[in-house]
Amino acid sequence: MKEFNDLASFKPEQIVELLRLAKQLEESPEPRALEGKVLALLFLSPSLRTLASFQAAMTRLGGGSFVISPNMSIHGLETRPGIVMDGVAAEHIREAVPVIASYGDAIGIRAFAERRNLEDDLDDKEYMALRELCDIPLINMESAINHPCQSLADWKTMDDLEIPANGGKFVLTWAFHPRALPLAVPAATVHMAAMRGMDVTVLRPDGFELPDSIMHKARKAAAASGGSVEETSDRASALNGAHVVYAKSWSATRHYGDRPADEDLRRGLENWCVDESWFDTGADDCRFMHCLPVRRGVVVTDRVLDGPRSIVIQEARNRMYAQMAVLHKMLGPTP
Amino acid sequence: MKEFNDLASFKPEQIVELLRLAKQLEESPEPRALEGKVLALLFLSPSLRTLASFQAAMTRLGGGSFVISPNMSIHGLETRPGIVMDGVAAEHIREAVPVIASYGDAIGIRAFAERRNLEDDLDDKEYMALRELCDIPLINMESAINHPCQSLADWKTMDDLEIPANGGKFVLTWAFHPRALPLAVPAATVHMAAMRGMDVTVLRPDGFELPDSIMHKARKAAAASGGSVEETSDRASALNGAHVVYAKSWSATRHYGDRPADEDLRRGLENWCVDESWFDTGADDCRFMHCLPVRRGVVVTDRVLDGPRSIVIQEARNRMYAQMAVLHKMLGPTP
Amino acid sequence: MKEFNDLASFKPEQIVELLRLAKQLEESPEPRALEGKVLALLFLSPSLRTLASFQAAMTRLGGGSFVISPNMSIHGLETRPGIVMDGVAAEHIREAVPVIASYGDAIGIRAFAERRNLEDDLDDKEYMALRELCDIPLINMESAINHPCQSLADWKTMDDLEIPANGGKFVLTWAFHPRALPLAVPAATVHMAAMRGMDVTVLRPDGFELPDSIMHKARKAAAASGGSVEETSDRASALNGAHVVYAKSWSATRHYGDRPADEDLRRGLENWCVDESWFDTGADDCRFMHCLPVRRGVVVTDRVLDGPRSIVIQEARNRMYAQMAVLHKMLGPTP
């Protein structure tokens, strides 16, 4: 495996195989599988789960990792192409990335959306530019429009808990948040659930539609898997019979990058906070999912988050096992 | 071993066994004992020795570790229970701690005293709340009222140098410091020396008495070990015949958390700086101990600290071996 | 090997042996050579390559490392001797360095020039003071006047690419930079190239002569190796027949530490930016080298840096292999 940038680059049976390997590594540790191997971790955006779970994953497989973030360089990293660097930044990303990659057997890169231009972010333009600078196996640790490690972990979590795939109803719901957030997790999640064969409903207030390209990609996956994808602002119909309510806030795209306009649009939507009533018409054992970090009392109530429906800690823990499978596949001994 | 939170949770013979293991690991490395094992390190307070010595300890045993501090998360961690998170913090400690723990085989947590409420700090309320969030073996890397890793290292250091246990005189002396400092080290130290069977004297100016609960716990340990514990402001009698002078500053408790009142109280106490004259009536080879960091010329003179009495570097080095024993006991192969 | 502070401390055949080992470790990994071994990394100055390459080097050899920088301690580190520490700093380097060293099998230290006093920096006074505090093998990760890891990597890079040693022409050229930079890299580089037996030309504008002690040391190495060292401001003659153009900015020494005077001196020197025309009269395949980080469009044009002449990424990658050889020699199994 040379890249893990997008679940859509894999066939469903390859994902199933990855998940089987993740489960195997969870149950039967292989503490020497990657001995002497190095994972380079480049964080252009902040992190907690990703930072911890990748380091832990490499240790569990007998290898190691190192972490670089821009503030470790002298005066930060320049990213603009063709610029005369007579300002503050003393190093350009065009050197920094190949150098960092040169020390690793694989590299993980995190670069959140810049949220200046919607088309650029939907095309994952910045991440794709960074990808061009790497000549070793690459892992997407969350880009403008994707978060495949989260999606693989979420898929594993649903498998672990025997949440139905075909026939399972997956509701991805927008939630209130004081700030406009990136599209990466909703885009990855709707596609993942569709690829898993679930009946996916995107529930969101008017004005927070997901962009066409995201919906189209998810529908394509659903067509292949026997799932379905629809979008609605009707909470009652969406939640009826749900096996999973996956909450996530995201920014409106009609005023993309325009913070005041986005804030105007979300005024009055504070009731998009998932509470127990959201589960009244769901399936038995309907689960609550979220990628974390989550704002308590804003996105979800304490009662739901601390109750038995919530599987957010399992999702986070499965980040480690999912990534161990990816790393083992990329760097491990050839079978 | 499921927890290493307090020496008082162990029988003296268990501590002796831990120290025997620490010595053994110092002399006979076991570089594969913990292969594939992960220690999660959560620092809610700053660190140098603890940060370095735990990472080194895991490497020496063939495992690994990762470090998380709040500034790595997006906008820091919320700690208040039941709050609506519509402010700056985007993640609550109630998710962060279980998530971090989910990646480790054991977790170390550092959380200094908040110094708002004396009773809360004496009860180690914040640490105990964090402990509730962990379901894997837990190590106290310094809480409001304890620092068991320092105490275990100090005990080993005295053993290494053959400083008498029963019959040895241990003086814990308050020292001047420009700031009001926590009670964790004095509380842990007076208990440790008493548990080791030493005759312990707490020497401090009037107004800087240690709280009753701390003295009571130490006296209980002394009763079991054949040691003794007393408290005085009489420097001459305290230092007479001492085998160890252990310096540490701490805050007065009568105005706990009231910085101006505390500073008023310490005005004029600048002569509580340990110099060579403090050792005039001590035992031959009376040693100077301090947990570090230490302010030169304030807590202790350069001459004492740089002279042959000082064993502060040995104490710091023994942090690593003491912690290796704890980690080996927690995570190592069952004998 | 007890120290790796300066290539000049080694005989040429020892360097050749180190480079042979570096090549061997590049081609035949030894992922258990340093198992259970710890490298302490103390960064008193910022880093990217050094930080990443040393961590990767230890992982590739089966050991581990930990990183300490002053901002991890409480209120930073005091460095002045004999001071009463009643200010901000709570820990003195006289404790911090021995403590950090006590956890390692070897220690690497980075401490850039303070650029207050030229003689002190030429004597590497600060680094030599830190060296006195270490009682384990020590690696210079860049001091005021040396950068032996960079030099060893650069030597390896020239060997890898079969750039001639005796008979090869090496041009170290000053380049424009908005800020006055340290002398460490030019000092180490001119000596390294001379020690390798090359004909070295230091090309710089008037006013940017390298200090006599640096030139003298390089000439001594050249005398032993059959190389030569000269200095000129005549660009045409310097570049004629060059096999390597190694660019680096450095501060003028006549107004050392006087930033405004230095900036006055460099006004009008913006054309000291290496572009393709600099290679018109060079040898076939004349290479461009730089230690990185480099300012694009200021020190060198994008076209040169992105073109086939540039070997800056190979130099950076060889940092890892060069350091692996040093670490293997210091800490590895005795042959």
Q: Supply φ then ψ for residue C27, to 5 degrees.
A: -90, -30
Q: Do A95 and C55 touch (CB under 8 A)?
A: no
- Clarify whether residues C135 and C183 are in a common domain: no
Interface test with B, best of C86, C109, C132, C133 (most B CBs within 10 A): C86
- Clarify whether residues B182 and B233 are in a common domain: yes
For residue C139, give how far its alpha carbon lies from the nearest alpha carbon of chain B (Å). Answer: 18
Q: How many residues does chain B have?
A: 335
CB nearest to C320's CB, from A85, A86, A103: A103
- Clarify whether residues B84 and B112 are in a common domain: yes
pTM for the predicted model, two decimal places? 0.97
- Clarify whether residues C170 and C302 are in a common domain: yes
Q: Do C56 and A40 touch (CB under 8 A)?
A: yes
| Count of CB atoms situated within 10 Å of the CB of C166 | 11
A153 found inside a domain? no
Q: At what angle do helices C312-331 and A93-102 cross, to 10 degrees?
A: 40
- Clarify whether residues C199 and C88 are in a common domain: no
Q: What is the model's pLDDT at position A249?
A: 97
**List of residues 6+ apart from C308 with CB closer than 8 A:** none
Q: Do A86 and C297 touch (CB under 8 A)?
A: yes
Judge whether residue C259 has pLDDT over 90.
no
Token pair listed for A235: 């909470």
Q: Which residues of A touch C62 (CB under 8 A)?
A: 35-36
Distance CA C271, CA C204 (A): 12
CB nearest to A103's CB, from C31, C52, C64: C52
Chain B / chain C CB contacts < 8 angstroms: 100
Q: Do B29 and C38 touch (CB under 8 A)?
A: no
CA atoms within 13 A on the CB side of C303: 7
Q: Decide the pairing of beta strands A244-248 and A287-289.
A: parallel
Encode pLDDT of A74-125 as tens digits: 667 898 999 999 998 899 999 999 999 999 999 999 999 988 899 999 999 9
- Asked if B56 and B317 count as a contact pair (C-beta separation under 8 A), the reply is no
C152 found inside a domain? no
Average pLDDT value over all residues in chain C: 96
- Clarify whether residues C252 and C123 are in a common domain: no
- Clarify whether residues C23 and C85 are in a common domain: yes
Which CATH number characterizes residue C46's domain? Answer: 3.40.50.1370
C135 found inside a domain? yes
For residue B313, give the chain C residue with the closest CA: C99
- Clarify whether residues B11 and B139 are in a common domain: yes
Q: Which residues of C touch B (CB under 8 A)?
A: 35-38, 40, 63-66, 68, 72-74, 78, 82-86, 90-92, 94-96, 98-100, 102-104
Encode pLDDT of C209-232 as tens digits: 999 999 999 999 999 999 999 999
Interface test with A, best of C25, C292, C295 (most A CBs within 10 A): C295
Sign for the CA dihedral angle at A269, A273, A276, A282 comes to positive
The dihedral over CA atoms of A57, A61, A62, A64, expressed in degrees to the nearest 10, equals: -30
For residue A222, give how far its alpha carbon lies from the nearest alpha carbon of chain C (Å). Answer: 42
C196 found inside a domain? yes
Q: What is the model's pLDDT at position A252?
A: 93
Interface test with A, best of C26, C32, C51, C59 (most A CBs within 10 A): C59
- Clarify whether residues A229 and A301 are in a common domain: yes
Among candidate residues B180, B177, B145, B176, the one with its CA nearest the CA of residue B262: B180
B278 found inside a domain? yes
* AA identity, residue B83: I
Q: CA of B185: how far to CAs of A36, A142, A312, B220, in Å? A: 39, 42, 37, 18
CB nearest to A313's CB, from B85, B91, B102: B102
* AA identity, residue A131: R
Token pair listed for B38: 């992960």
C153 found inside a domain? no
8-state DSSP, B94: H
C244 found inside a domain? yes
Q: Specify the residue for token string 């789960």.
A: A49
Taking 50 as the pLDDT cut, the residues of chain B under it are none
- Clarify whether residues A182 and A133 are in a common domain: no
- Asked if A265 and A252 count as a contact pair (C-beta separation under 8 A), the reply is yes
Domain count for chain C, please give it: 2
Q: CA of C143: how far to CAs of A71, C72, C154, C291, in Å? A: 21, 21, 17, 15
Q: Which residues of C touch A74 (CB under 8 A)?
A: 46, 48, 293
Per-residue model confidence as pLDDT tens for chain A (335 residues): 999 999 999 999 999 999 999 999 999 999 999 999 999 999 999 899 999 999 999 999 999 999 998 776 666 789 899 999 999 889 999 999 999 999 999 999 999 998 889 999 999 999 999 999 999 999 999 999 999 999 999 999 999 999 999 999 999 999 999 999 999 999 999 999 999 999 999 999 999 999 999 999 999 999 999 999 999 999 999 999 999 999 999 999 988 988 888 888 999 999 999 999 999 999 999 999 999 999 999 999 999 999 999 999 999 999 999 999 999 999 998 87
- Asked if B258 and B269 count as a contact pair (C-beta separation under 8 A), the reply is no
For residue B72, give how far its alpha carbon lies from the nearest alpha carbon of chain A (Å). Answer: 6
- Asked if C169 and C199 count as a contact pair (C-beta separation under 8 A), the reply is yes
Encode pLDDT of C137-147 as tens digits: 999 999 999 99
Q: Do A59 and B36 touch (CB under 8 A)?
A: yes
Q: Supply φ then ψ for residue B288, to 5 degrees.
A: -105, 125
Q: What is the model's pLDDT at position A269?
A: 97
- Clarify whether residues B182 and B291 are in a common domain: yes
Full domain range(s) for residue C82 = 3-147+319-331
C173 found inside a domain? yes
Q: Which residues of C touch A35 (CB under 8 A)?
A: 31-32, 62
What's the complex ipTM?
0.96
Distance CA A37, CA A63 (A): 5
Encode pLDDT of C260-314 as tens digits: 888 889 999 999 999 999 999 999 999 999 999 999 999 999 999 999 999 999 9
- Clarify whether residues C101 and C220 are in a common domain: no
